[in-house]
Structures are given as structure tokens and as C-alpha cells.
Homo-oligomer: A and B are copies of this chain.
Amino acid sequence: MSVLIVGTTALDSIKTPAKENPRLLGGSASHAAVAASFFSPVQLVGGVGEDFPSKYLALYRKHGIDLAGLQILPGKTFHWSGEYEVNMNNRRTLATELGVIETFTPKLPAAYQNAAFVLLGNIAPALQHSVLDQLKRPKFVVADSMDLWLNIALPSLLKLLKRIDGFVLNDSEAALLTQEDNIFVALKKIHRLGPKYVIIKKGSHGSILSAPKGIFICPAYPLHTVEDPTGAGDSFVGGMMGYLATAKGTIDAKIRRAMVYGSVTASFCCEGFGLTATTRTQRAAIEKRVKELETMTRF
């Protein structure tokens, strides 16, 4: 089955202590879609400007991503630029030029409206709602978000939490949302807001799932070099949803393994700027790292 993914489709200018790379393909939907494409067909929903490089359309197509839901709009593509500190854990935004994303409204082609697996990638909650409104009978909907929406669109986000199955956020966002530093107390509080599956991402420390079958402690793949962590969280949730959409069995039976596949896909993302390393990856390389993680967590 395919995964429908909405989110930002952007150009990212990324600066790390080692390198600087302007106008790379980025955005939550781009990272999630490429990650998901290793496991299942992907239907992309997003909006780019007339300046969007055709080589990036080619990159989406190389991954078999369905672009019927990608609108090319008059104006400029959303552009984000940011800088990482030496330890790669802290980043600051240098500039955000919204461009076409400011007035973008997702419009689902008829073929997308029957989507079963839906990833509402990080984008304004109003747009995530708008996608849900256009869907007929989604089977499993997961949303991602960011601190920005917690700060400026909390009521809309809280309404969204009542409409989705799974919610993914990072540890600092969880603390911001729940006013609770303890991750396991925060998980309980987030369940009370709606979602049955809650995943808190902890970067290089892995992630934690709280679900009907209990807590799952999901490992991060050990990396010796992190070139650029931008999009790692999106790759994680994209890979997870791609795996969920095609693997057999119930959500409960396969979500843990799906997270590990997402985690491994995210590890490749970190090894290159933007999507450089992710797009070079093969399914076989992902399988190899998943097996390694099985060995590294067994006791």
C-alpha cells in the first residue's frame, strides 16, 4: 500500500562548522517521502515555486514518488537557512522565506483521497487538518510537528491530536507541550490529548514509543560522523510509515520494527548534507543496519 505524505517542500541552505551548502532539496515532506520510498510507493502533497530546480523533481521521480499532489505555484519556493554548532546538537535558523508556502493549500487529487496510511509531516496544523478533511477513510494517520506550531498554533494542534492515531515529537517539544521534563510522564499526558501511539524522538539517543503494547525503547544507529542532521526526524517518521504501509500484520505487531527501519533510514540522512546520503542509499544497506541494530540491542 502507498503512503500519503504532506509537509513542506523546501530549499535548505545549511551551514555546519565543516561545510556550507546552499539551496539543497529539503523540507519535511521531501525527507519523509524519500525515506518512505525505500519501503512503499509514496504520494506527495506539497507546494513549490516556479524557481524549484527540475533536478529536484527528477530526484523525487528517481524514488518513484507520485507528484500528482505537488503544486507548482507562482512565486518562490519556501527557503530555510540554518547553522549548526560544533556538536551538531544545537542549530539556529538564519532566515526563513516562506514564499509560496505562505498561501499554499493542499489539494488532494482524487486518487489520493482513498489513502490508508497518512503522514502529516511537519507543516502548519491548519494544513494538516485540511489534508485530513479531504481523506475518505484513512487507516493509520501519524502527525509530526515542531516547536513553532506549539508556540503559535497550539489550539489547532490540540484539535489535530484528537483526529490522529500517532503523534511524533522530540523531547524538548514534549516538555514544551506537557510542561513535564520526565519523558515517561510526558508520554502519559500526550496520550490523554488523543493519540494512541506517541513517539518521543531523542536524536542520537534513539526514541521511545508508548503504545497499547507498552513502551518500546528504539535505538539510534551508531554513527561515527554526522555531516548534517537536518531532516533526520522526518526521515525517521517517513521510513517508519513506509515500512508500516507494506509490512504484513497489525500496527501493534509491526510498529516497533517500523521504528527501527525509520531510525536506520534517518542514520543515512545524517551522513550527508540534505538528502545527499539518503538518496544514495539502497534497501540492502538499510537491511544490513537493521540487522546490526538487532545484534547491538540483544542481551
Contacts and interface: CB of A to CB of B under 8 A. Distances in A.
Nearest to A208: B222
Given A205-B202, A205-B205, A215 B296 contact: yes
Nearest to A187: B222
B296 A182 contact: no
Contacts of A164: none
Contacts of A86: 181
A284 interface: no
A243 to B, nearest CB: 11
Contact of A182 (B184, B225, B299): B225
Identical copies of this chain, number: 2
Interface string A247-260: 00000000011011
Contacts of A216: 296-297, 299
Contacts of A257: 299
Given A182-B224, A182-B226, A214 B256 contact: no
A87 B184 CA distance: 14
Interface in A73-93: 86-88
A184 B224 contact: yes
B299 A214 contact: no
A131 to B, nearest CB: 29
Q: By DSSP majority rule, is chain A's interface helix, strand, loop, or mixed?
A: mixed
Nearest to A299: B256
A262 to B, nearest CB: 11
Interface string A35-76: 000000000000000000000000000000000000000000
B297 A217 contact: yes
Contacts of A223: 182, 184
Contacts of A208: 222
A252 to B, nearest CB: 12
A204 interface: yes
A299 B181 contact: no
Contacts of A226: 182
A226 to B, nearest CB: 7
27 contacts: A86-B181, A88-B181, A182-B224, A182-B225, A184-B222, A184-B224, A185-B224, A202-B205, A205-B205, A205-B206, A206-B217, A214-B295, A214-B296, A215-B222, A215-B296, A216-B296, A216-B297, A216-B299, A217-B222, A217-B293, A217-B296, A218-B299, A256-B298, A256-B299, A294-B299, A297-B297, A297-B299
